[in-house]
């Protein structure tokens, strides 16, 4: 009903503040029916304000909090599913506090990535501008001077002649092809089979798969600890937890584990067989299951792996800027050499 752009600047901080304020309202004993109007009165973001007003009306008319947030259609699925878990387990307040910390961390990471990418991006744009200027203006000018004097165009200049002609005649076609490619990729991702394959790639690829598995571990253990604390069985908790994971491949693996647990297989063995979780996580689950403290163990594991995710993402972000600058510097050096040498050849021919 209401679209709140997820790429909007400050989106995560808005969500973090919303969850924090909502948790304070619940902690003070105010019912959501009375508390949500207080939230949208203090909200600055106009779209978020409208969404909260819609949620307030839905709750007043008897809707559950989860269904109201979901019907607003402007909140991440992770947030709405965690609200559902908190609402059904009676632990909405700690869930909202956890969501507040989560989105604050996301906002900080996004800000660091933006800062790390800005300089390499400016350098890349400058480099492309230099290449375009040389190909469209400088090289043709020297070639015109050379041919007017009866000279022969050096072979190594041919690449820039082709590049210049391509920029002049085919830039619109190139842009149209890129736009068409983006549209085709976007449409393919809407297909269930393609989305499943892409979700699997997120988990199994050797570059980011390790971090993604840590994210899955943190979300899975955090949500399941809430369901276990509320008195739900493992199989009952799985039904709520699967929505938190937001990955079709992971959800399928978890459902296979549920079936195995229902058939009498130990929980830790079923989790191990999914191949989604680190070996240490599996051993900790085995210990918690044997000692009867699985809910407390899952809570500790959730905090530990969330800290590990934050640290891993921090290392990746700190690596982005020097890596981009190094690669672009090497490319720029190669381009400059490929430009200077033909220019020297032309000038020598003119001389």
For 241-300, the pLDDT digits (tens) are 777 777 889 989 988 988 898 888 898 999 999 999 988 899 998 998 888 888 888 888
CATH code, 126: 1.20.81.30
Predicted confidence at residue 85, as pLDDT, reads 87
Tell whether 100 and 206 lie within a shared domain. Answer: no
How would you label 64-100 residue by residue, b for 16+ Cβ within 10 Å and e otherwise? ebbbbbbbbebbbebbbbbbbbbbbbebbebbbbbbb
Answer whether residue 3 is part of any domain. no
Out of 105, 130, 159, a domain closes at 105
Tokens 């901080």 found at? 13
Q: Which two tokens stand for residue 256?
A: 């296979």
**Is residue 65 over pLDDT 90?**
yes
Predicted confidence at residue 326, as pLDDT, reads 85
Tell whether 304 and 195 lie within a shared domain. Answer: yes
DSSP code, position 140: H
Q: Which two tokens stand for residue 13?
A: 């901080």
How many other β-carbons are positioned within 10 Å of the β-carbon of residue 183? 10
pLDDT bracket for residue 224 (50, 70, 90): confident
Answer whether residue 2 is part of any domain. no
Averaged over 221-228, what is the pLDDT?
Answer: 85
Tell whether 121 and 100 lie within a shared domain. Answer: no
Tell whether 122 and 179 lie within a shared domain. Answer: yes
Total domains in the fold of the chain: 2
Tell whether 242 and 192 lie within a shared domain. Answer: yes
Tell whether 20 and 127 lie within a shared domain. Answer: no
**Is residue 141 over pLDDT 90?**
no
Tell whether 224 and 271 lie within a shared domain. Answer: yes
**Is residue 149 over pLDDT 60?**
yes
d(CA 216, CA 294): 18
Q: pLDDT by residue (tens digit) across 303-333?
A: 888 888 888 877 887 887 788 778 877 877 7
Of 97, 95, 99, whose CA–CA distance to 85 is shortest?
A: 95
Q: pLDDT by residue (tens digit) across 81-97?
A: 889 888 988 889 998 99
pLDDT bracket for residue 67 (50, 70, 90): very high
**Is residue 4 over pLDDT 60?**
no
Tell whether 82 and 199 lie within a shared domain. Answer: no
Predicted confidence at residue 7, as pLDDT, reads 42
Answer whether residue 4 is part of any domain. no
Answer whether residue 31 is part of any domain. yes
Tell whether 95 and 143 lie within a shared domain. Answer: no
d(CA 102, CA 323): 27
Of 224, 247, 246, whose CA–CA distance to 235 is shortest?
A: 224
Predicted confidence at residue 58, as pLDDT, reads 93
Predicted confidence at residue 2, as pLDDT, reads 39
Tell whether 222 and 295 lie within a shared domain. Answer: yes
Is-contact 157 339, C-beta < 8 A? Answer: no
Positive or negative CA dihedral for 107, 109, 112, 117?
A: negative
Q: Which two tokens stand for residue 286?
A: 């085995």
Answer whether residue 110 is part of any domain. no
Q: pLDDT by residue (tens digit) across 176-199?
A: 888 898 888 787 777 778 888 888
Answer whether residue 290 is part of any domain. yes
Is-contact 42 35, C-beta < 8 A? Answer: no
Averaged over 23-47, what is the pLDDT?
Answer: 88
Out of 38, 70, 105, a domain closes at 105
d(CA 56, CA 59): 5
Answer whether residue 6 is part of any domain. no
Domain residues for the domain of 343 are 117-351
Tell whether 175 and 43 lie within a shared domain. Answer: no
Contacts of residue 304, defined as CB under 8 A and 6 or more positions apart, other chains included, come to none
Out of 105, 137, 164, a domain closes at 105
Tell whether 72 and 199 lie within a shared domain. Answer: no
How would you label 314-346 residue by residue, b for 16+ Cβ within 10 Å and e otherwise? eebbeeebeebeeebeeebeeeeeebeebbebb
Which stretches within the chain are classed as H helix?
A: 11-27, 32-42, 46-60, 65-72, 77-89, 92-133, 139-148, 158-190, 192-204, 209-229, 234-245, 248-262, 267-274, 279-291, 294-350
């Amino acid at each position: 009903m209401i679209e709140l752009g997820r790429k909007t600047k400050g989106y995560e901080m808005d969500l973090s503040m919303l969850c924090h304020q909502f948790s304070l309202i619940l902690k003070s004993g105010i019912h959501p029916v009375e508390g949500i109007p207080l939230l949208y009165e203090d909200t600055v973001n106009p779209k978020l304000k409208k969404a909260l007003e819609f949620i307030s009306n839905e709750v007043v008319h008897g809707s559950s909090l989860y269904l109201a947030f979901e019907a607003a259609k402007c909140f991440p699925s992770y947030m709405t599913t965690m609200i559902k878990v908190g609402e059904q387990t009676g632990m909405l307040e700690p869930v909202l506090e956890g969501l507040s910390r989560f989105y604050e961390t996301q906002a900080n990471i996004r800000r660091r990535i933006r800062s790390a990418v800005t300089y390499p991006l400016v350098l890349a744009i400058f480099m492309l501008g230099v290449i375009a200027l040389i190909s469209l203006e400088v090289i043709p000018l020297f070639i015109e001077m050379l041919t007017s004097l009866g000279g022969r165009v050096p072979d190594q200049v041919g690449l820039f002649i082709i590049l210049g002609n391509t920029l002049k005649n085919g830039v619109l076609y190139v842009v149209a092809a890129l736009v068409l490619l983006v549209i085709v990729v976007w449409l393919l991702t809407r297909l269930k089979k393609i989305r499943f394959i892409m979700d699997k790639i997120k988990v199994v690829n050797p570059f980011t798969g390790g971090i993604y598995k840590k994210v899955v571990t943190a979300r899975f253990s955090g949500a399941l600890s809430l369901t276990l604390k509320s008195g739900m069985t493992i199989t009952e908790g799985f039904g709520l937890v699967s929505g938190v994971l937001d990955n079709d491949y992971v959800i399928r693996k978890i459902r296979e584990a549920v079936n195995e647990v229902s058939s009498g297989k130990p929980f830790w063995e079923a989790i191990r067989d999914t191949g989604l979780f680190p070996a240490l996580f599996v051993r900790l689950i085995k210990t918690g299951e044997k000692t009867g403290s699985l809910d407390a163990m899952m809570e500790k594991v959730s905090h530990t792996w969330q800290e590990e995710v934050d640290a891993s993402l921090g290392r990746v972000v700190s690596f982005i800027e020097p890596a981009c600058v190094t690669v672009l510097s090497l490319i720029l050096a190669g381009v400059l050499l490929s430009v200077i040498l033909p220019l020297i050849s032309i000038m020598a021919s003119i001389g």
